[in-house]
Amino acid sequence: MVVVDLGDIDACDCEPVAAALEQFTPLSEALRPGLHAFGARGPSRYFGGEQALAGLVAQASAEAAPSASRVGVGMADGLFAAGIAARTAPPGTSAARPAAVAGRHGAGLPASAAVLVVPPQRSRRFLAGLPVVSLADPVSPLHADGKASEALLDVLWRLGIRTLGDLAALSEADVLGRFGWPGLVAHRLACGLDDRPLQAEAAGEDAGVEAEIDPPADRIETVAFMARALADGMVSRLARDGLDCVSVGIEAESDSGHASRRRWRHELRFGAADVVDRVRWQLEGWYRSPERPTGPVTLIRLTPCVVSPADGRQLGMWGERSEADERAARAVARVQGLLGAEAVTVPRLAGGRRPADTGSRVPLHAAGAEASPKKAKGAKKAGKRTNAAEAPWPGRLPAPSPAVVLARPEPITVTDCGGAPVTVSGRGEASAPPQQLTDSTGRSRTVVAWAGPWPLDERWWRPSARRRQARFQLVLDDGSAHLCVLESGRWQREATYD
């Protein structure tokens, strides 16, 4: 297998790389923007061997993506080992036969290119010394299930298994009996094998779905909305047949005669939302490439190129997804199609001592992996680690929480009965009771009740990041209540209570 890793490159910059790889094979697949893979057996024979092929792929990829800070090309028996080789390849030469590469291709490689070819039947030895956390690499099938991989890696580390070689030395039957499917996959990866080959099983010719877009769409989100309905139908039909889609072909055609065709691969299995993400990535790259269409998109086609037997999934005892949840998901998908994926946001709790740190709004698709409160409660009872939002934060203000948290705190002035600014001493004592609050517009209100100060001293061990605050709760004569802070001699209003 050959893996090309471009690092954290923008999705729109990956289209030239995908086009450049077509000169080596028509079956190149993208796992995500900046990560491409294809089988090496046929191309290596045509281009003069594995070393020659790796050097040519690195050079072509670096020329097609000049914005990439690093281009890594790895070659190994399996997809996982090749992906690790691409990430750990030293710049300029190959660790397998450095003299051959340097003499034939090393001089022509850009400084940002790195090549590492693992000889056949040596993948296990290559992986043996790597830390066990490498199993969470984006090219690993365990990466797609973050909760399972995190729990597995945590247990392996506590059992003293530090490297992939330690895991590979265990009996496969023992690992399967103790850890189940995630453990079996991890053991196979540590042994230099993959859970399935790159091309596992071709799907039938009639498995594809397509839709004509009328009127033609000139916005990516409109095409993505059409693709969501197609993806739902395709994934549901494959599920009824007991199959998972692991590689999907996406085609888009415009009324100007231009077309974009790419194959995408998933580390585990494609869901409808995963397919829609690939449609967005592909169209973004297409519209910014030299071969961009000059007209709106008229057709979208999805084809499951590679399928594998479905492993199934264990549902909750009482069912964790109701019909109402399905209706809500469809309604949200429609809003996203009309307004864009970033337009639908949900609150996400986080850890912190200030109201601005404990919550934020994130796009719905970015919050899909968040654990539900029931799951978090169950994990807490089982003795597992909880997230930052549930961890104790000494110094956090008690309930009730403010109803409105300002994105930008408002500068204010708080004075005592004599008109002097209220200050706080090093012992956390107020110089005088707050009497008057003046906002940024110059309007003043009388303070009828107050509480505090509650001192906050964070990161005292790091002078560059240290923060010292004194927090007050002030009730004004108009009935409003506010959370105000004094920091570095300046007063600010951070939040308002309902």
Bridge partners for 359 per DSSP: 349
How much is the pLDDT for 336?
63
Indicate if the pLDDT at residue 95 is higher than 50. no
Whether residues 8 and 85 fall in one domain: yes
Indicate if the pLDDT at residue 307 is higher than 80. yes
**Tokens, residue 339:** 């307004």
CATH number of the domain encompassing residue 267: 3.30.1490.100
Instruction: Using pLDDT thresholds of 50, 70 and 90, give the confidence band for residue 144.
Output: low
How much is the pLDDT for 191?
87
The CB-side HSE value for 87 (13 A sphere, CA atoms) comes to 17
Other Cβ atoms closer than 10 A to 18:
24
Instruction: Evaluate whether residue 386 is within a structural domain.
Output: no
pLDDT in tens, 217-230: 888 888 888 888 88
Instruction: Evaluate whether residue 215 is within a structural domain.
Output: yes
Q: Phi and psi at residue 152, in whole multiples of 5°?
A: -65, -45
Instruction: Evaluate whether residue 108 is within a structural domain.
Output: yes
**Average pLDDT of 93-113?**
47
Q: Phi and psi at residue 54, in whole multiples of 5°?
A: -60, -40
DSSP alpha helix (H) spans, 308-416: 323-339, 373-381
Residues with Cβ within 8 Å of residue 266, at least 6 apart in sequence: 31, 144, 245, 246, 247, 248, 274
How much is the pLDDT for 222?
84
Cα–Cα distance measured from residue 490 to residue 455, given in angstroms and rounded to the nearest whole number? 15
Task: Output 319 or 46, whichever has higher pLDDT.
Answer: 46
How much is the pLDDT for 338?
63
Burial of 102 (0-12, 13-18, 19+ CB in 10 A): middle
**Average pLDDT of 458-464?**
78
Indicate if the pLDDT at residue 467 is higher than 80. yes
- State which of 309, 332, 352 marks the end of a domain: 309
Instruction: Evaluate whether residue 315 is within a structural domain.
Output: no
How much is the pLDDT for 321?
54
Residues with Cβ within 8 Å of residue 125, at least 6 apart in sequence: none
Spacing of C-alpha 416 from chain mean position: 50
Instruction: Evaluate whether residue 392 is within a structural domain.
Output: no
Cα–Cα distance measured from residue 143 to residue 328, given in angstroms and rounded to the nearest whole number? 28
Instruction: Report which listed range, 142-156, 368-382, 431-445, is most confident.
Output: 431-445
Whether residues 242 and 287 fall in one domain: yes
Whether residues 47 and 157 fall in one domain: yes
Looking at the structure of the chain, the number of domains it has is: 4
Q: What angle is formed at CA 41 by the lines to CA 37 and CA 47, rounded to 5 degrees?
A: 95
pTM beyond 0.85: the answer is: no
Whether residues 371 and 474 fall in one domain: no
Task: Output 188 or 355, whichever has higher pLDDT.
Answer: 188
How much is the pLDDT for 109?
64
Q: What is the mean pLDDT of the chain?
A: 78
Strand stretches in 266-403, DSSP E:
297-309, 345-349, 359-363
pLDDT in tens, 271-298: 888 888 888 888 888 887 777 788 888 8
Whether residues 133 and 8 fall in one domain: yes
**Average pLDDT of 397-405?**
82
Instruction: Using pLDDT thresholds of 50, 70 and 90, give the confidence band for residue 323.
Output: low
How much is the pLDDT for 200?
43
How much is the pLDDT for 96?
39
Strand, helix or coil for residue 414: strand
Indicate if the pLDDT at residue 105 is higher than 50. no
Instruction: Evaluate whether residue 397 is within a structural domain.
Output: no
User: What is Dmax (Cα atoms) for the chain?
Assistant: 89
Whether residues 183 and 224 fall in one domain: no
How much is the pLDDT for 424?
92
Whether residues 179 and 213 fall in one domain: no
Please measure the distance between the N-terminal and C-terminal CA atoms of the chain and give it in whole angstroms: 60
Q: Domain range holding 418? A: 404-497
CA 289, 293, 298, 304 torsion-angle sign: negative
Whether residues 167 and 80 fall in one domain: yes
Instruction: Using pLDDT thresholds of 50, 70 and 90, give the confidence band for residue 49.
Output: confident
Other Cβ atoms closer than 10 A to 117:
28
Indicate if the pLDDT at residue 405 is higher than 90. no
Cα–Cα distance measured from residue 437 to residue 484, given in angstroms and rounded to the nearest whole number? 10
Whether residues 240 and 275 fall in one domain: yes
Among candidates 336, 262, 331, which has minimal Cα distance to 300? 262
What radius of gyration, in Å, describes the C-alpha atoms of the chain?
A: 28
Among candidates 469, 25, 36, which has minimal Cα distance to 285? 36
**Tokens, residue 450:** 């107050």
Cα–Cα distance measured from residue 299 to residue 233, given in angstroms and rounded to the nearest whole number? 17
Indicate if the pLDDT at residue 77 is higher than 70. yes
Whether residues 254 and 362 fall in one domain: no
Instruction: Using pLDDT thresholds of 50, 70 and 90, give the confidence band for residue 213.
Output: confident
Cα–Cα distance measured from residue 434 to residue 491, given in angstroms and rounded to the nearest whole number? 12
Instruction: Using pLDDT thresholds of 50, 70 and 90, give the confidence band for residue 189.
Output: confident
- State which of 134, 166, 190 marks the end of a domain: 190
- State which of 144, 162, 190 marks the end of a domain: 190
Indicate if the pLDDT at residue 97 is higher than 50. no
Strand stretches in 355-477, DSSP E:
359-363, 404-415, 436-438, 444-458, 467-476
Other Cβ atoms closer than 10 A to 326:
10
Whether residues 252 and 173 fall in one domain: no
Cα–Cα distance measured from residue 126 to residue 122, given in angstroms and rounded to the nearest whole number? 6
Residues with Cβ within 8 Å of residue 399, at least 6 apart in sequence: none
Whether residues 217 and 77 fall in one domain: no
Instruction: Evaluate whether residue 456 is within a structural domain.
Output: yes
Q: 196 to each of 140, 318, 334, 388, 467, how far by Cα in Å? A: 12, 33, 35, 36, 51
How much is the pLDDT for 327?
67
Instruction: Evaluate whether residue 290 is within a structural domain.
Output: yes
| 253 neighbors 334 (Cβ within 8 angstroms) | no
